[in-house]
Amino acid sequence: MKSEEIDLQLNSLNENQLKAVRHQGTPLFVVAGAGTGKTKTLTTRIAYLIEKNNVNPNKILGVTFTNKAAKELRDRVDSIIYPNKMGTWLYTFHAFCLKVLREHAKDLKLGYNNDFIVIDQDDSLTITREVIRLLDLDIKEYPVRLCRSVISGHKTELEFTYDEKMLDIFDLYQEKLIADNLMDFDDLIVYVYKLFKNNEDIRLKYQNMFEHILVDEFQDTDKLQYQILKQLNNKNMFVVGDPDQSIYSFRGAKYEHNEMYVKDFGAKTIVLDENYRSTNNILELANKVIKHNLSRTGNKNLSSNLGSGKNVKTYTFDNEKEEAFFVANQIKDLTYEGISYNEIAVLYRNNVLSRNFEHNFNYENIPYIIYGGQSFYDRKEVKDMLAYLKVVVEESNFYLKRIINVPKRKIGDTTKNKLENFAFENNLTMLNAISSINTISAQTKKILTEFKNIIINIRRELNDLENIEEIVDVIYRYSNYQEELDQEIEDKQKERKDNINELKSVFFMGKTKYEGTNLEKIRAILDELSLFTDQEVLKNDDNSVRLSTIHQVKGLEFKVVFIVGLEETIFPNHRSFDDLSKLEEERRLFYVAVTRAKIDLYLTNTKMRVMYGTYNYNRPSRFLKEAFLEKETRKVLEKPNEVKKIYKEKNEIEDFNTGDIITHDLYGKGIVVAISGDILTIAFSVEHGIKKILKTHISIKKG
């Protein structure tokens, strides 16, 4: 690129971006807010160093976190400085470490040569499974995925608890990797850290190799990645990140690194807070909320030249069905105004919240995709539960083949094929054929008979259930599905169990929609779901609304964003209530969600939400209160067609005691059986059972 063309690029920067690009002499932390042009600043600095400061491209190291981000950085730099190519040192952290180990793996003196093979997650799980077998350990007590997670945590020094047998698993796993000249992804980072720590000459080689080191998305660095940067000890270290978007602690990212970097490296700070994405009403809301975090690096206050824009809209609905109905209809109105489906996102904290929106979007023929995830009804555990039910209700051969070995019962393909052929030859369902098949061993016949009894027991209980949503619990219990979940790490196991519990809501809502016996209601609900899941609209991802958790859309932007499910215990998540650092990360997550919106932002919550097959009454999210002054909140809620107040004023709150008789608008008379803080545990009639309700909720009163 000619010098004057570089000058044009520099002239397109704002004052602080230009300061960052030209900075010299000390390490620098560019605190770059959402939509403030951090990638442009980073790539322009690389081009500036090459074209204006005559730095050899091979003397520049740039690291980021994803292959996509690394490719974007490389392409942008190449387009600026063409035909003077960037060179070879713009990588992800893992790719940089791989390049180092390709030259120095043998220097670890562990038995590796430099031609080691990097294994993927599936290969790693296979080796873990083999190790558990070789140690003669019970796979139920030491599930494969859990063990693999502990191995990873032990390597990267995350906080995991483990016993001596788990250490035996770890040691044998590592022995097998080294013996076969294999490394997993964790090893790439761990071994470079150890290589630099234990080999001064190699560490000095890489310290001297680079004149400039640049780090993208610095707020996402984990403990060992940060230590590697410290080991490189570069006087021209240039990191770009937004501490307010640090949302990956579950992956090992440490928020503390933001302050540590300034202290450890003696770094200067430049703040980028001129936003080029969103209107000011959206940015002002983001600023208001994030200021409630006590731990913040960089005094950042986002603003833009795009004008005030539309007011942020908040809505409180009676229940989750009204919420989903509103969002679907609002999206249809937006498309009439010229907004494309793919310019709209519906964001939520928890994957299980997608179900109602999927249902309404299908009904309204709104194309959508589950961004970075699966449709609720496509999740394995949901499909498994429904498959069991279809075998119970219809004796379906197709679905029996899916779940006859889920969880594992030592029923392989050979047995399934024999059973299927015998059933076909004798005009029987596969379930009925189990009793009379005679071409299998006695042990296999015993296992198949036990499976058939599971189906019979589920069917018997189905007929006797007072509440059909309990069928999910019945299937879970008789099938021993917990064995299937035991193969997952703790967080994934909980997510899958949450999805199973949320399936109860489908039957909970369906029991009032259809008439007849339990069996007839179940059949009607399954028919509805089969039509729903087969809709072609699910496959259209060219121009579709994005349904997504917030973690999945970090770095993306949309003209219109709906943030739904803004209720205490959901967002912020209830697990953050006793830990300030987790609560602040929840607030950063909300900040990320808000700053995805360019021109229009909707915030929604419900008075009551059916989750996991039961009614939940939650306060509106504290983030709503933090986002608006009290007067502004009241003004929004008093708009026509929006709900009336749902919580009592301070002077209306009654003093409740155990034993008090109360009246609920929906459940009728009940008695307070326990009190925990603001939450009353109330026993209603047998029809409604025991409920937990906030004492400030307007639906209850004494007497």
Residues acting as catalytic residues? 38-39, 216-217, 245, 596
Q: What is the DSSP string of 331-385?
A: HHHHHHTT--GGGEEEEESSGGGHHHHHHHHHHTT--EEETTS--GGGSHHHHHH
Beta strand spans in 530-574 (E): 545-549, 558-563
List Cα–Cα distances, 542 to 224, 363, 368, 532, in angstroms: 39, 19, 9, 20
Q: Give the integer Cα–Cα distance in Å for 202 and 100.
A: 10
**Residue type present at position 288:** K
CA 517 from chain center: how many Å?
39
**Residue type present at position 431:** L
Residue 586 exposure: Cα atoms within 13 Å on the Cβ side = 24
CA 666 from chain center: how many Å?
34
Place of tokens 């230009």: 18
Q: Classify each residue of 27-61 as buried b or exposed e, where b means 16 or more C-beta atoms within 10 Å of its C-beta.
A: bbbbbbbbbbbbbbbbbbbbbbbbbeeebebebbb
Q: Which residues contact 383 (CB under 8 A, 6 or more apart)?
A: 377, 402
Beta strand spans in 211-292 (E): 212-215, 238-241, 268-272, 274-275
Are the C-beta atoms of residues 438 and 450 closer than 8 Å to each other?
A: no
Are the C-beta atoms of residues 264 and 225 closer than 8 Å to each other?
A: no
Environment class of 288 (CB within 10 Å of its CB; exposed 0-12, middle 13-18, buried 19+): middle
Q: For the chain, what's the residue count?
A: 703
**Residue type present at position 244:** D
Q: Give the integer Cα–Cα distance in Å for 442 and 449.
A: 10
- The reply to whether omega before 620 is within 30° of 0 (cis) is no
Place of tokens 């640090």: 246
Q: What contacts 24+ positions apart, CB below 8 Å, involve 283-286?
A: 283/595, 285/312, 285/594, 285/601, 285/627, 285/628, 286/34, 286/591, 286/594, 286/595
Q: How far apart are the first and last CA of the chain?
A: 81
